[in-house]
A and B are shown apart, each in its own frame.
Chain A
Amino acid sequence: MRAANCHYFAALALSGLTLLLASAARADEPAATAIVPPALARDGAARAADGTALPIAAADSDAPSESAAGLGEPPAGVAPRRAEPLPAPVDDDPPWAGPRVELGYTHYSLGDGFGGGAVHAVSFGGYLPTRQLRLGLIGDGGARDYALGGGDAVLRATLVAGWQGVGLVDYVMPYVVAVASCGVVVGQRFATTFADALLGLGVEIGFEVNPVRTLHFGASLAHVRADLDGLGYGLWVLRLFVGL
């Protein structure tokens, strides 16, 4: 116990010393004289590195000086105009804390019994910023290959709920979710249009790579037990996506 206390106080002292040195180093720095080029300043005034406005003369000594000393009083009845104070410049927007949205490509096979059934779809969806609880909704629409005729149209909405590893690994976030989907398949059989409900339940694993701010891309693989007009399907659903 005593040794632990000793280590604790030693660490505390080291931290304090580091802070003191850092403060001292900052105090030793010469006063900031760097000038932001006037063209870059929002109000046209030269600014020091800390953002405070500098006198014009300090910004460019060759420029003709202007001052109010040589100007006369404004005519009677004319009120002098004052410049409105500009809002403080914002250096950096805070990271977006709202829902994330994704655009993706989805592929799975809804076999037709004759060698066709591949579905290629475009997906759009997103999930809520609920930390380790991943809660989202994805819609996808695409075409299903039918081996004996023209393709079918497939529309699906998928609700996802599960766990995501926020902060588990730098830049990469794995997740595991349960998925529940419903949709419709519309097509033609023997020159007659049909529309059948497509329902499914399953589990999906995936990951996101988050290189900068909220931009992310990733991939997922889901196994879904689906029902289409009373027929059962075991679907392996691959999804590639990019989002913000």
Chain B
Amino acid sequence: MTPAELLKSSIRGAWAITEPAGRAVLEPAGRAVGALVPRILDAVLDQVDLTRLVIDRVDLDAVVAEVDVDTVVARADVDAVIARIDLIALAGTIIDGVDLPEIIRDSTGSIASEGIRGVRMQTIDADERVNRLVDRVLLRRQARATEAPVPQPRSPLNGDAP
């Protein structure tokens, strides 16, 4: 037997003796580590502000630049989004914002109707001035109660006229 063969057979003999003992130790240790690591990780993550960490350490612009927005939008259910929006209210807000009635008046109104509008506003202004003057002369402190009754909707039960 050569020295090399002697060494080889010695290692095999030693492995045959130590392997069962090694298995008996390492397997429970592996299971213990497997159960312990998630707990340790959770505890560590609880101590770390991950959001802050990402904001500080990650180049989010670069990440977002890599995202294919078209693909994301293509997968989105736009109809479902639209169904959740009150389109009538939205249209009303837009019409109020751009003052659509005013645009229509500007495009279709005549010089005469503009003149009438001016006269109406001037008389309203004159009404207000005269009221204020008279109220001051009469030492009246309360503002005039100019709210007129509002027509009530017709009742289907008694048929009252509005």
Do A and B come from the same complex? no
Interface residues, chain A, with chain B CB atoms under 8 Å away:
none
Interface residues, chain B, with chain A CB atoms under 8 Å away:
none
